[in-house]
Structures are given as C-alpha cells and as structure tokens.
Amino acid sequence: MIFKKKTSHGFTFLISFIIVIFAVMFLATDVHALDISNMYSPLNKKRPLRSKTQYIILHTTEGALNGSLRKVHQFGETHYFVTPTGKVYRIIDRKKIATHAGRSMWNRQTTLDNVSIGIEVVGFHDQDITRAQYTALRQLLRQLKKIYRIKDKNILTHSMVAYGRPNIFHPRKHRGRKKCGMIFSHPDVRKLLGLLPGPKRDPDVAAGRLVVADPDLHRFLYKPPKVLAALKGTKDSSGSRSMVIAQGNNAWRIARDKYDAPSTIYTYPNGKKLRGNEIRKWDSIPVGTRVSFVDEDREQEFEKFLEIGKDGNTVQDLAGNLYADPTTIYFFPDGLIRTGAEMKKSSSLRKLLKNPPKGTRLLVGYIYGGYVQKGRSATRIAGRKWNYPSTFYRMPDGRILNGDNVEKKSIPSGTLIFIMK
C-alpha cells in the first residue's frame, strides 16, 4: 500500500501549527525550569568586582549535596550552585570574584578567578548529571552567554584550566591538578547543554608554558572517546582512581596538589598513620597505603612555604625549573629576601642557589610585594588587587590571610604581601 503525501493548504497549516505549539511548549518548559534563589556567602560583601568577564568555568563538587553546599557557601567558592533537582543557588554575586578556579591558566592568562564566572554542579567528574541539572545548567549558560557575550569556546572545565606548581613528582608547572568538571568537556555532554564542542588543544601545553602530568586526563579532554561511558550510567575509565598506593598510582595521582597537605592522611598497611606534611620520602610509601582526607580545604588557599632540609635538599627539589624565576621567593635564615631572578643575576647570590643553608624557605608561584610600611600601604603595593582573594598577607604574628579577610585600615606595618601568579 502506497501512502500519498497530502498537500492541501489546510493540512499543511495544521501540521505547521502543531510543530510551533510543541516548540513553544519546549522553550517555555526550559525557561521556567530555572529555579534560582539567593544563598549568598558571608564573604560576598567583601569580594571585589571583576574588571571583566571572559570565561565560564564548569565544576563538579566531587561530593554530596549538603557538604559541598556548606563548603562553597563558607568560602565563597562559586557564583552558582546547581543541585541534583535542578535548584540553583547564587553564592557570590555574578559581578564579583569567586574563588572557584584557584591556581589556573588559559592561553597565558593566569588566576582566572579574576576574569571568570564559576558554576558548581553537584556530582562527580566521571559520572553523568541528572536530567534536571541539564535543564537548569543549559538555561543558566544561555543567560550568562547573552549577558557577557561569551563564546562557547570560552566555556571551559576546571580540569582544563587548573595547573600545579613544580613539586617532588613534577619538576615543571603542569596540567592535571584537577579532574573537576571533566565530563563537561565531552562533545555529547556539551551538546545537551546547548554548547558547541570545546577547544581541541591546550594552548599553554602547546606553547610549552605547562607540561602534561596526567596523560589520561589530557587525552579525555582533547581527544575524547566517541562513546561516553558516563552517559550509559557507568564511570569513565580515564576518570576513575583508586585511593590506595600501588604501582603507577602514587600519592600525587591520588591526592593531586593536596598530597603533602596536613588534611591528607596516609594509613600504612601496618596501621601507622601520617599526615601529608609529615612525610619526607615519597618514594618509600609502601604499596597498599590508603589515602583519605579529613578536612575540606578552600580552593584559593595559600600554598605554604617550602623549607630546605625539610621538604627537599636542593632548590630544584623545592622549585623545580622555577628555582631562578621571578615568581620564586627565597627567605634566608639571616633575614635576606630575594626572588629567584635576583639570585641568578648576582654572582655572590648564585652560590647560595647551589648550596642554600638549611632552614632557607621558598615560596613558589607568587609575586613578591614586600612589606607594608609607613608611606607604603597595601593599595600602593598591590593596587586594586589589595583585597583580591588571590592576594595573601603574612601578618607580623605569622598568620596568613586572603585579601578578602583583611581591613585596609587595620593592616599593621611589617605585614608581607604576596600575589598569586
């Protein structure tokens, strides 16, 4: 039996009308699906305005709803928070700086918190999000793209932009510090979010500014599998990891940049427990050691001083190939403070680079601002970044505070200022 196509004007009009009605209904559902309300962080009032907005960075919480929401609310670590039911909370005013990206770089530009909006989605980097989250996130992205005229290529994942400073495992600045948001790089997921495919390469790796520390992650981000396991309800193998030390699964691969943090606990097979900051010989951790985390560290956290004789014996152990860089700062036991670049220029100081005295401390990946003194205020040192969360103050009593935790008129003389690079 042959079915003939009906060509009457009335029938054609009816079909067209029905299609339009369904399209309108779909769009209306999408528009009204954005259930958004305020849950502003206590830090919202202290956060400075961004001078510009160039990127949107997508994150996954890597934890359950309540604990994740409590953390980002306490520390002001995102602009928007998307729950499994599609409910969206405003945590930091979209015009202000949220500390969601931490140490980050894209196309040479660093500290992307200062030029981006962060969206935190409850879920895990290697698992699919809920249908309600897709609907809410798609609508939220549509609105933000329109407001800030952001192109799809500048909607990135935290795993794409995060990088780590040199450490005992990786002597150069490197990608792989975070797997957060990895799933949002896949073309199939981006399509469901109304986005075009993301970038096909990492511009900073291509230019040699960074190296790849996690080849599996890098491959997933820029040469993704055609079929995404997460969309079928299973974890993607490139995102999975064991929390147990084994061959090919060292402390860095498990804990990333938190491997030596006091909040990272190593439980040896014999029951012995050590915190990350108590371990000295990282290549001697026995196979079978289990890694766990006891505290929630804030994303924009001071990355601590490294000490000769404690964290390593040479400047290369501590700073890798950045040992003579302007962003590496040396604090010698006799009170001398110099950057790596200054050390390299002086013949007398170069001797100290080769044989630094025990107790010498290094700070890697920061710009040295110097001391607050009479006639040399914090604003004169750091300019408009004086109250940025990425500006750190070492108070005379030894406390380290973010810029959003200091009062301009209460910064004592003798305070040291560092700005994350």
How many whole angstroms separate alpha carbon 102 and alpha carbon 409? Answer: 27
Query: 10 lies in a domain?
Result: no
- The string of pLDDT tens digits covering residues 264-295 is 999 999 999 999 999 988 989 999 999 998 87
* C-alpha span between 384 and 401 (Å, rounded): 17
What pLDDT is attached to residue 294?
A: 84
* Residue 156 contacts residue 57 (beta carbons within 8 Å): yes
In a domain, 89, yes or no: yes
Q: How many CA atoms lie within 13 A of 361 on its CB side?
A: 10
Q: What is the pLDDT of residue 342?
A: 95
The per-residue pLDDT for 30 is 52
363 and 256, same structural domain? no
- Please, what is the Cα angle at 77 between 267 and 296, to 5 degrees? 15
- Domain ranges, residue 255: 251-293
Same domain for 281 and 316, yes or no, is no
Residue 226 has what pLDDT? 83
Cα atoms found within 13 Å of the Cα of residue 200, Cβ hemisphere only: 0
Which pLDDT does position 301 carry in this prediction?
77
Q: How many CA atoms lie within 13 A of 173 on its CB side?
A: 22
Ranges of residues in the chain whose predicted pLDDT is under 70: 1-33, 229-241, 296-297
Shared domain check, 286 and 397: no
Q: Which pLDDT value is given to residue 230?
A: 64
Q: What is the pLDDT of residue 231?
A: 65
Domain assignment present for residue 152? The answer is yes
Residues 287 and 313 in one domain: no
Q: How many domains does the chain have?
A: 3
The CATH number of whichever domain residue 217 belongs to comes to 3.40.80.10
- 265 located within any domain: yes
Which residue from 283, 286, 247 is spatially nearest to 269, judged by alpha carbons?
286
Residue 3 included in any domain: no
